[in-house]
């Protein structure tokens, strides 16, 4: 990765402007390997760097890839309007380094949400051309029937779409719950498809993207984690 001055390192990690980071360093709030560093211009090797600010350890990351178990009533927007934004769940450093949601979940939809500050990664994951499968668990108002599952698999027509939209797979989980797998990612797609098929969605949770499964991440609702290379690779597979 190479060397950077300590103030630039902290700035890149979202700890403020270069000037503000210099103040932190000069005040003795930054240490590396147990040694307090007060020279903001000190050249530091970034590869594998762990530094502490206010005694909290941070690993230097040129880009961050995050999985969040999104709670209800949070908006997937950097400029939320009616509910808190999902970035308020994360440390404020991520807002400064311009982390943003990868795609969107409705404010009342819960489950697996990716976040990153890597523009090409966000574009790649969001592109409909890549046909990345997303798995949802929907709770319905009316009972789930074989006929409902059949309609979702055959495709339903939405008023603003030129072609019917079909689930990749769909199966009944309980009397009022089904699992539906989509590739398209249209606006409110699961809810609108269920309505078009004659039912109504009362709760929706995304449980998987590609081969990355929320339950294997061990995240309680509202918790987040960094994704490693192996987990990122799962995003391109169909199942885990």
Assigned CATH for 65-128+211-234:
3.30.70.580
Task: Quickly state the pLDDT bin for 1 (edges 50, 70, 90).
Answer: low
CATH of domain 133-209: 3.30.70.1560
Looking at residue 104, what is its pLDDT?
86
Fold that domain 3-59 belongs to in CATH: 3.10.290
Which pLDDT tens digit goes with each residue over 167-185?
A: 999 999 999 999 999 988 7
Place of tokens 């991520």: 94
Sign of CA dihedral 97, 102, 108, 112: negative
* Residue found under tokens 């799962």: 234
Least confident of 10-14, 103-107, 118-122: 103-107
Mean pLDDT, residues 209-219 taken together = 95
Q: What is the C-alpha separation between 184 and 65, in angstroms, rounded? A: 22
- The answer to whether 209 touches 134, Cβ cutoff 8 Å, is yes
Measured distance CA(55)–CA(233) in Å, rounded: 33
Domain ranges in the chain are 3-59, 65-128+211-234, 133-209
pLDDT tens figures, 92-112: 999 999 999 998 898 999 999
- Taking the whole predicted model, whether its pTM rises above 0.95 is answered as no
Q: What pLDDT score does 238 carry?
A: 60
- The model's confidence at residue 147, banded by pLDDT at 50, 70 and 90, is very high
Strand partners, 58: 51
Catalytic (active-site) positions: 106
How far out from the chain centre does Cα 39 lie?
36
CATH topology agreement for domains 65-128+211-234 and 133-209 = yes
Average pLDDT in the 205-234 region? 96
């Amino acid at each position: 990765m190479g060397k950077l001055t300590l103030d630039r390192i902290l700035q890149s990690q979202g700890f403020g402007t270069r000037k503000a980071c210099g103040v932190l360093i000069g005040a003795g709030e930054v240490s590396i390997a147990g040694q307090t560093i007060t020279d903001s211009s000190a050249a530091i090797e970034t590869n594998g760097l762990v530094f502490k600010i206010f005694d909290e350890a941070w690993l230097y990351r040129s880009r961050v890839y995050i999985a969040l178990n999104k709670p209800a009533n949070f908006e997937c927007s950097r400029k939320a309007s009616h509910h808190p934004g999902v970035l308020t769940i994360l440390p404020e450093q991520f807002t400064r380094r311009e982390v943003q949601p990868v795609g969107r979940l409705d404010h009342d939809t819960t489950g697996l949400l990716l976040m990153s500050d890597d523009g090409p990664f966000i574009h790649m994951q969001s592109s409909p051309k890549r046909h990345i499968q997303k798995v949802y668990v929907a709770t319905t108002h009316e009972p789930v029937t074989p006929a409902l599952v059949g309609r979702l698999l055959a495709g339903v027509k939405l008023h603003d779409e030129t072609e019917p939209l079909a689930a990749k797979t769909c199966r009944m989980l309980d009397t009022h719950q089904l699992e539906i797998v989509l590739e398209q990612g249209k606006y409110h797609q699961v809810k609108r498809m269920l309505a078009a098929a004659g039912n109504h969605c009362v709760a929706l949770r995304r449980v998987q993207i590609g081969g990355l499964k929320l339950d294997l991440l061990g995240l309680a609702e509202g918790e987040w984690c960094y994704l490693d290379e192996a987990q990122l690779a799962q995003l391109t597979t169909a199942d885990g």
